[in-house]
Structure 1
């Protein structure tokens, strides 16, 4: 019997099932707009929250008492953790997983020792991936936990810290490439500042731009075909971070000529901390051509910090998938469960149940979005609202074939436009009919 007390993978049982360890809506082979549900959602389980977080918070320590977190041999603990992780991936039947380097392999006394440990675990992962069929959605390097990174990594005032971070990232993308990862993520957990009194913003941004440019060059050198992804986050732990939101990241990529190779990995919690909705950040990423992948979780509306709860809000998720289905969905990205169970959820099966419930919420939302698109429930009113721009004269404006004086003359000739209703409450009611 596994750590989870379950041997057979969790299966689809239909919407009438009351079994918390059965899928009610996630039927991976169900066709949705001509593609399997699994291929739309591309679920990924994350390594860090599921197998590394001990259940602590700022006011209390470990609650989970995971056996692989205790022992005298760090590499053996890492091997034990890998056994449990791949058991969970198999039980959930998720196609992907994600990891930080230090989540999967212990840090050594030097960077060389840390890299050797990562290479050892990478070989173990390769074997387990071959056995289970689980694939790697993306890998990344943790450049924020160790005290050396207290003032940032790429943006650190000490060039030796910058160099150490380069070495750590090289090892992480090498491991990702070896495991056929589909993306590589850069999460700048401390790429920001706590006070402007000791910060040269231009210098730090230039350092970050150079760091990312070198990473892109190396990606091409080793033949890594997937995109580099930046994960926007506005604050926490830094007062202000340089990857604040999608718009800020786009401006950064544009300035340092990185748009061809770097996209964004968007998280719901981070969108809320930046003062946006998840839907806003996803739509903007598509509009700017930088959409890459998603961390699927949610925050607590009463707390102003990153709670990383499992996504359960079907209405929010429906709007997300409505936009994604319109735009063609993922290419190399997926839905990564960057989410953790609550520190009181101490039973091993709580980890499975959380994933199952959230996967079902996503699947239910995907089906609702499909129905809305089939009925043109939102697209019809949206097209009607902008219909005036379809006329030849107004299309000429957008093509640059009409100048300011010509348009002003048209207005002076007697235009008297009248306001029209935005119909917000009607559209909110339409959404509710599907969810």
Structure 2
């Protein structure tokens, strides 16, 4: 009887234990040695990290937003609708901290050192938990970053299908969707001469097949855009390069992509990302102006917009604001890579943008554009090599999101104050006259202008008030 009592007690305790587990699912850091980190693991990858909330500028909590309040309305839109943040899978979950002079420094606890399908699924699970805790409902990806390359194209496609199907399951009921997808056409040795600009027709065909598949999976996941990266589309010297032929080939490639997008009913925007000297000396998509010229020459201007990366603006010798304005005034601002580079380092350092002044100028272009939907801000940015804690992934994104949100708030201050707009209005006031308006309307010829110059004599030129403009701008920061 005593033994039966003990058994009943053990059974009762077991039931209580299972009930507790059911009510409170187990958590673990997804450590590969923990025994609970396989691709079907349903616990937490970030058990020590709470859902990130807005606590306001006075908060000292590093795991809280100080400036980004998703549902707060600024200038007639919610902050989340102005900013449309997106997590970049490749830097966030595939970044290693390695560089040309140093070995990888980051070894996330869920990694097993392989590029297997099960590992790809585990990373995808971590990605979705990260987004949900961060409060971001968009992500972006390269095909080969989310699924391993196979020995054949068919095997690579099968790998991608399996991981994308898993991502689709994770999406259900979350509201999370890709901001955009793209094909990685630069890392594999086959792309040593470029992809669409390769001198080998076999590589051209392979690249087309890879893009075709990447468009299909982006469409399947409900992606809003598809990006073409310039990777190695350029040349080091014209001694062995037929520049016109390569440009023509690239144009035909893009035209075929437009046709296929329409054929399958993908309504997302196609984007080109200006990409200077990365890694070739002469890139065909050097900056916004060069890319726009290419699109116009080949009749593609109405089919593509630009994805502007702030770090690439630095490498092309421009400011991010200049590149955004060039795209905006041509009706081609489609998306923004929210990062920055180091002006003293001639490389794409992909740092999180934390400069409040630069963020304010970026948001000034976005507000003037009326927003950038269906594009958004994707964090094409990576942790510094020395940042190796899992928590650092959250801290970096919180900092980047707060910086852009603060920039938006600063733009609202500038617009409510009106001083900067008034300064600009006064500077061009002479063109607001009847005669100035006729010039802007294209109704005045050179003979008429010469007559006016003779009549008016030497013109008085007013101060541009550059220092005052900077003073007004800085006062809003």
Short-chain TM bin: over 0.9
**Which residue is 1:15 aligned to?**
57
SS at match of 2:458: coil
Change (3 A) 1:433 1:73: closer
1:377 positional shift: 2.9
- The answer to whether the 8 A contact 1:271-1:281 is kept is yes
**Which residue is 2:257 aligned to?**
215
SS at match of 1:132: coil
- The answer to whether the 8 A contact 2:328-2:365 is kept is no
1:329 positional shift: 1.3
- The answer to whether the 8 A contact 2:115-2:148 is kept is no
Q: Structure 2 unaligned runs (5+)?
A: 1-26, 28-43
| Equivalent runs, 1:284-323 vs 2, <5 Å | 284-323=326-365
RMSD: 1.2
For 1:413 and 1:73, locate their aligned partners in 2 and report how far apart those are by CA, in whole Å: 76
Extract structure 1 runs of 4+ deviating beyond 6 A: none
TM-score w.r.t. the length of structure 2 is: 0.89
Deviates more, 1:248-257 or 1:51-60: 51-60
1:162 positional shift: 0.3
Q: Is 1:37 aligned to 2:79, yes or no?
A: yes
**Which residue is 1:392 aligned to?**
434
TM-score w.r.t. the length of structure 1 is: 0.98
**Which residue is 1:82 aligned to?**
124
**Which residue is 1:159 aligned to?**
201
Q: Is 1:412 aligned to 2:458, yes or no?
A: no
**Which residue is 1:342 aligned to?**
384
1:73 positional shift: 6.6
| Equivalent runs, 1:344-383 vs 2, <5 Å | 344-383=386-425
**Which residue is 1:128 aligned to?**
170
- The answer to whether the 8 A contact 1:100-1:140 is kept is yes
After superposition, give the CA deviation of every residue in 1:330-369 in whole Å (9 maximum; x if it has no partner): 1211000000001111100001000001111111111011
For 1:293 and 1:311, locate their aligned partners in 2 and report how far apart those are by CA, in whole Å: 16
- The answer to whether the 8 A contact 2:67-2:405 is kept is yes
For 1:433 and 1:67, locate their aligned partners in 2 and report how far apart those are by CA, in whole Å: 45
For 1:69 and 1:77, locate their aligned partners in 2 and report how far apart those are by CA, in whole Å: 7
- The answer to whether the 8 A contact 1:322-1:372 is kept is no
Q: Structure 1 unaligned runs (5+)?
A: none
1:134 positional shift: 1.3
**Which residue is 2:465 aligned to?**
423
**Which residue is 2:40 aligned to?**
none
| Equivalent runs, 1:247-262 vs 2, <5 Å | 247-262=289-304
**Which residue is 2:17 aligned to?**
none
1:125 positional shift: 1.1
Flag the structure with more relative contact order, 1 or 2, with Cα contacts below 8 A and sequence separation at least 6.
1
After superposition, give the CA deviation of every residue in 1:47-80 in whole Å (9 maximum; x if it has no partner): 0001112111111212111245435571011011
For 1:356 and 1:6, locate their aligned partners in 2 and report how far apart those are by CA, in whole Å: 16
After superposition, give the CA deviation of every residue in 1:33-58 in whole Å (9 maximum; x if it has no partner): 11111111000000000111211111
SS at match of 2:335: strand
